[in-house]
Amino acid sequence: MNAPRSLSPLKVAIAGLGTVGAGTIRVLADQAALLTARAGRPVVISAVSARDRARERGVDLSAFAWFDDPVEMAKRAEADVVVELIGGSEGPAKAVCEAALGAGRHVVTANKALLAHHGVALAQLAEEKGLGLFYEAAVAGGIPIIKAMREGLAANDIHSLHGILNGTCNYILTTMRETGRDFEDVLSEAQELGYAEADPTFDIDGIDAAHKLAILVSLAYRVPVDLDAVTIQGIRHISALDIDFATELGYRIKLLAMAHKGAGGIEQRVSPVMVRLDAPLAHVEGVYNAVVTEGDFVGRNVFEGRGAGAGPTASAVVADLIDIARGNITPVFGVPVGALKAQPVEAPDGHVGRYYVRLMVVDRPGVFAEVAAALRDEKVSMETIVQRARDPGETVPVVMTLHDTEEGAMVRALDRIGASDAMVEPPRVIRIETF
């Protein structure tokens, strides 16, 4: 009997040695035997690149070739795969991926911004070259949602999906509810603890979640990744008062990324939403992420786990490397790029659903009649109304929940209500979803 032929190692070059890059090096070192068994061949690092060679990263880099220029590494290193862990939709990250694919190397990336902006073009390039472009770590960190949607759920049409895709926002909303503190205060603390970036815009304005949603939507509906199709609203305007009223009404406020196929097309939206306490996502707290999918044969699946951090994200990067080592090269967005077809986008105005509305009102006679008339004229009907105790002439919050109503009609009614001199700030609106 012949001895089994030992397969050549998969050689990996890593661009970017920050949180995820150093984490990936650690997993590849600590799990070497397990990975060799699972991949059927060793997975070894051949080269690395970052900006500062002298920086201490807590991992031993001495065995790897060092490149100051990551693009040069992508072109010249002795590697089968280039792992891009630099970040950003343009600049070196994009150049590294293009150079690697151009030079005939597979690419693994954790970069949702890059894929949201250039995913189709990069997928096209990978396909032309017969190479893999893998990105499990780009959406929901350690949750294997990309593989689940691309492969495990491939037999299904996905009717809808929704998820908590930004751990920073979820941490802020959870802490606001638990402590009763306001948004700005909790955001500053999150920045001190390292849960939020110094520039938190991408997270708190919903852009990061939108990048991830656009990728999931492509996998679910076989459409090109299209960030412009996502309606985006972040959490800056959520106040401690809204969180308090949500609890009183039996809801939790979550920043959700949502997509569903309606009569008018695919709705893609990131916005704060009130979810009932018995919804799967109501109890996903802190920095955790979760995704719920509804498929026609499989029904509902709920995925929950850590959405960020060195360990979970490196776990996802290494899973992609195992696929490449095994030769499992799948179409980037589940189908060949030519089979991705744009579909109409459902305008938010056409959405029919329930809403929470908070008005800040100067309590004087006739105000309620004005509010009721504006709602009646747009055929918007109120389900509940909550008003806190006050003295005449004081500003008071008035909270209404609305029965199913068309968003456009509600917006028109609230425009009229908001123009009243009894309103001290614009009406605040949060969707209520019953998943």
Ligand X SMILES: NC(=O)c1ccc[n+]([C@@H]2O[C@H](COP(=O)([O-])OP(=O)(O)OC[C@H]3O[C@@H](n4cnc5c(N)ncnc54)[C@H](OP(=O)(O)O)[C@@H]3O)[C@@H](O)[C@H]2O)c1
Q: Which residues are catalytic?
A: 212
Cα–Cα distance measured from residue 246 to residue 61, given in angstroms and rounded to the nearest whole number: 50
In whole angstroms, the minimum distance from the beta carbon of 225 to ligand X comes to: 15
Query: Which residues contact residue 5 at a Cβ distance below 8 angstroms, ignoring those fewer than 6 apart?
Result: none
Q: Using CB positions, name the residue nearest to ligand X.
A: 18
For residue 204, give Cα distances in angstroms to 109, 149, 186, 209, 275: 23, 26, 12, 9, 19
In whole angstroms, the minimum distance from the beta carbon of 272 to ligand X comes to: 22
Of 280, 290, 325, 285, residue with least CA distance to 164? 290
In whole angstroms, the minimum distance from the beta carbon of 177 to ligand X comes to: 23
Cβ proximity to ligand X: between 17 and 27 the closer is 17
In whole angstroms, the minimum distance from the beta carbon of 88 to ligand X comes to: 7
**Half-sphere exposure for 386 (CA within 13 Å, toward CB):** 14
For 167, left (φ over 0), alpha (ψ -120 to 50), or beta?
Answer: alpha
Cβ proximity to ligand X: between 177 and 306 the closer is 306
Cβ proximity to ligand X: between 19 and 401 the closer is 19
Cα–Cα distance measured from residue 341 to residue 223, given in angstroms and rounded to the nearest whole number: 5
For binding to ligand X (CB under 6 A), which residues are involved?
16-21, 49-52, 55, 70, 85-87, 92, 110-111, 137, 141, 308-309, 313
Question: Per DSSP, what are the bridge partners of residue 395?
Answer: 362
Cβ proximity to ligand X: between 92 and 163 the closer is 92
Cβ proximity to ligand X: between 168 and 401 the closer is 168
Query: Which residues contact residue 160 at a Cβ distance below 8 angstroms, ignoring those fewer than 6 apart?
Result: 258, 259, 260, 261, 293, 294
If you write DSSP's letter for every residue of 282-321 in order, what string do you get? TT--TTEEEEEEEETTTEEEEEEEE-SSHHHHHHHHHHHH
Query: Torsions phi, psi of 204, nearest 5?
Result: -75, -20
In whole angstroms, the minimum distance from the beta carbon of 403 to ligand X comes to: 40
Please state, as a whole number, how many other Cβ atoms lie within 10 Å of the Cβ of residue 190.
Answer: 21
Question: Per DSSP, what are the bridge partners of residue 401?
Answer: 356, 384
In whole angstroms, the minimum distance from the beta carbon of 193 to ligand X comes to: 14
Cα–Cα distance measured from residue 199 to residue 207, given in angstroms and rounded to the nearest whole number: 13
Cα–Cα distance measured from residue 131 to residue 269, given in angstroms and rounded to the nearest whole number: 32
Cβ proximity to ligand X: between 137 and 158 the closer is 137
Whether 157 contacts 324, CB under 8 Å? no
In whole angstroms, the minimum distance from the beta carbon of 141 to ligand X comes to: 5
Cβ proximity to ligand X: between 38 and 57 the closer is 57
Question: Residue 351: helix, strand or coil by DSSP?
Answer: coil
